[in-house]
Amino acid sequence: AQSVAQPEDQVNVAEGNPLTVKCTYSVSGNPYLFWYVQYPNRGLQFLLKYITGDNLVKGSYGFEAEFNKSQTSFHLKKPSALVSDSALYFCAVRDKNDYKLSFGAGTTVTVRA
Protein backbone atom coordinates (compact mmCIF):
# COMPACT_ATOMS: atom_id res chain seq x y z
CA ALA A 1 0.00 0.00 0.00
CA GLN A 2 1.12 3.54 -0.60
CA SER A 3 0.02 6.80 0.94
CA VAL A 4 0.91 10.45 1.27
CA ALA A 5 0.46 12.83 4.18
CA GLN A 6 0.44 16.59 3.86
CA PRO A 7 0.34 17.67 7.51
CA GLU A 8 -0.63 21.27 6.88
CA ASP A 9 -4.01 22.18 5.42
CA GLN A 10 -2.88 25.77 4.91
CA VAL A 11 0.38 27.65 4.61
CA ASN A 12 0.48 31.44 4.72
CA VAL A 13 3.58 33.43 3.83
CA ALA A 14 4.44 36.97 2.85
CA GLU A 15 5.60 37.68 -0.67
CA GLY A 16 9.36 37.42 -0.92
CA ASN A 17 9.67 35.00 2.00
CA PRO A 18 10.65 31.34 1.67
CA LEU A 19 7.84 28.89 1.07
CA THR A 20 7.83 25.27 2.27
CA VAL A 21 5.04 22.76 1.76
CA LYS A 22 5.53 19.51 3.64
CA CYS A 23 4.96 15.99 2.39
CA THR A 24 5.71 12.57 3.86
CA TYR A 25 5.06 9.29 2.13
CA SER A 26 4.75 5.59 2.68
CA VAL A 27 5.44 3.04 -0.04
CA SER A 28 6.57 -0.56 0.02
CA GLY A 29 9.20 -0.26 -2.69
CA ASN A 30 11.17 2.55 -4.27
CA PRO A 31 9.11 5.72 -4.45
CA TYR A 32 8.41 7.92 -7.41
CA LEU A 33 7.35 11.29 -5.98
CA PHE A 34 5.53 14.16 -7.64
CA TRP A 35 4.28 17.64 -6.89
CA TYR A 36 1.31 19.15 -8.70
CA VAL A 37 -0.34 22.56 -8.33
CA GLN A 38 -4.03 23.26 -8.84
CA TYR A 39 -5.43 26.73 -9.46
CA PRO A 40 -9.13 27.39 -8.84
CA ASN A 41 -11.39 25.48 -11.25
CA ARG A 42 -8.37 24.24 -13.17
CA GLY A 43 -6.66 20.91 -13.61
CA LEU A 44 -3.46 19.81 -11.97
CA GLN A 45 -0.25 21.19 -13.36
CA PHE A 46 2.90 19.14 -13.01
CA LEU A 47 5.68 20.90 -11.06
CA LEU A 48 8.42 18.35 -10.54
CA LYS A 49 9.21 14.74 -9.81
CA TYR A 50 11.80 12.54 -8.13
CA ILE A 51 12.61 9.22 -9.74
CA THR A 52 16.24 8.60 -8.93
CA GLY A 53 19.52 10.46 -8.70
CA ASP A 54 20.10 13.76 -6.93
CA ASN A 55 17.96 14.25 -3.86
CA LEU A 56 17.34 17.90 -4.76
CA VAL A 57 14.99 18.21 -7.70
CA LYS A 58 14.34 21.47 -9.52
CA GLY A 59 11.06 22.11 -11.27
CA SER A 60 8.85 24.72 -12.87
CA TYR A 61 8.33 28.30 -11.66
CA GLY A 62 11.36 28.26 -9.35
CA PHE A 63 10.14 25.39 -7.20
CA GLU A 64 12.37 22.64 -5.89
CA ALA A 65 11.92 19.64 -3.64
CA GLU A 66 14.26 17.56 -1.54
CA PHE A 67 13.92 13.80 -1.28
CA ASN A 68 14.88 12.51 2.16
CA LYS A 69 14.77 8.74 2.30
CA SER A 70 15.48 8.41 6.03
CA GLN A 71 12.63 10.77 6.90
CA THR A 72 10.42 9.56 4.02
CA SER A 73 9.79 13.17 3.09
CA PHE A 74 9.60 15.18 -0.11
CA HIS A 75 9.06 18.80 0.93
CA LEU A 76 8.39 21.43 -1.73
CA LYS A 77 10.30 24.68 -1.45
CA LYS A 78 10.61 28.04 -3.09
CA PRO A 79 13.20 30.56 -1.89
CA SER A 80 11.08 33.65 -2.58
CA ALA A 81 7.30 33.27 -2.86
CA LEU A 82 5.11 35.28 -5.22
CA VAL A 83 1.45 36.22 -4.82
CA SER A 84 0.80 34.21 -7.98
CA ASP A 85 2.01 31.07 -6.17
CA SER A 86 -1.23 31.10 -4.16
CA ALA A 87 -2.90 27.79 -5.06
CA LEU A 88 -3.59 24.25 -3.88
CA TYR A 89 -0.56 21.97 -3.88
CA PHE A 90 -0.69 18.19 -4.04
CA CYS A 91 2.06 15.71 -3.29
CA ALA A 92 1.71 12.29 -4.91
CA VAL A 93 3.57 9.00 -4.74
CA ARG A 94 3.62 5.80 -6.70
CA ASP A 95 5.59 2.66 -6.20
CA LYS A 96 8.25 1.96 -8.81
CA ASN A 97 6.27 -1.06 -9.99
CA ASP A 98 2.88 0.62 -10.02
CA TYR A 99 1.20 3.29 -12.09
CA LYS A 100 -1.49 4.49 -9.71
CA LEU A 101 -0.75 7.81 -8.10
CA SER A 102 -1.75 8.25 -4.46
CA PHE A 103 -2.36 11.86 -3.55
CA GLY A 104 -2.24 13.77 -0.32
CA ALA A 105 -5.24 15.85 0.71
CA GLY A 106 -3.57 19.02 -0.51
CA THR A 107 -2.15 22.16 1.07
CA THR A 108 -3.60 25.57 0.33
CA VAL A 109 -0.87 28.15 -0.04
CA THR A 110 -1.68 31.82 0.39
CA VAL A 111 0.99 34.38 -0.37
CA ARG A 112 0.09 37.86 0.83
CA ALA A 113 1.44 40.98 -0.80
Partner 1 sequence: NAGVMQNPRHLVRRRGQEARLRCSPMKGHSHVYWYRQLPEEGLKFMVYLQKENIIDESGMPKERFSAEFPKEGPSILRIQQVVRGDSAAYFCASSPSAGLETQYFGPGTRLLVL
Residue 103 · residue 88 · CB < 8 Å: no
Residue 74 · residue 65 · CB < 8 Å: yes
Residue 68 · residue 55 · CB < 8 Å: yes
How remote is the C-alpha of 10 from its chain's centroid? 13
Q: Whole-number minimum distance, CB 49 to partner 1, in Å?
A: 6
Q: Whole-number minimum distance, CB 64 to partner 1, in Å?
A: 17
Per rule CB under 8 A, count of chain residues that contact partner 1: 22
Q: Whole-number minimum distance, CB 32 to partner 1, in Å?
A: 7
Question: Around Cβ 44, how many Cβ atoms within 10 Å?
Answer: 17
The stretch among 12-20, 22-30, 31-39, 74-82 that binds partner 1 (CB under 8 A) is 31-39
Binding mask 51-90 vs partner 1 (x if CB under 8 A, - otherwise)?
x--------------------------------------x
Question: Around Cβ 86, how many Cβ atoms within 10 Å?
Answer: 17
103: contact with partner 1 by CB under 8 A: yes
Spatial neighbors of 82 by CB under 8 A, at least 6 apart, are: 15, 111
> Which residues are near partner 1 by CB under 8 A?
4, 32, 34, 36, 41-46, 49, 51, 90, 92, 99-106
